[in-house]
């Protein structure tokens, strides 16, 4: 694929990065990192560059923590 892109003077890296940023508009970074085999931190950096904020997704997928209540009950 890279050779075909070069043949038409299309930079492969720029095309890959653009595709990744567009995918991050639809998918959380952690999901994209699993799908394409990159480090989650790399996907998070691309999401930040793309201006995507998936904190609402993370908050919805994490169980609610009751640290304050647990500590008070143990005292």
- Determine the angle formed by the axes of helices 29-36 and 40-50, rounding to 10 degrees: 130
- Cα R_g (the chain), whole angstroms: 19
Q: Could you tell me which of 2, 16, 14, 42 has the C-alpha nearest to residue 32?
A: 42
* pLDDT value of residue 31: 92
Pick the range with the lowest mean pLDDT from 6-15, 21-30, 63-72: 63-72
The three-class DSSP label of residue 63 is coil
- Which pTM does this prediction carry? 0.54
Give residue 59's pLDDT: 63
Query: Which pLDDT band holds residue 13 (cuts at 50, 70, 90)?
Result: confident
First-to-last CA distance in the chain? 63
């Amino acid at each position: 694929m890279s050779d075909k892109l070069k043949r038409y003077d299309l930079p492969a890296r720029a095309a890959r990065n653009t595709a990744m940023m567009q995918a991050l508009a639809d998918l959380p970074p952690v999901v994209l990192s699993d799908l394409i085999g990159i480090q989650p931190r790399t996907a998070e950096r691309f999401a930040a560059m793309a201006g995507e904020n998936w904190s609402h997704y993370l908050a919805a997928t994490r169980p609610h923590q009751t640290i304050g209540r647990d500590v008070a009950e143990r005292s």
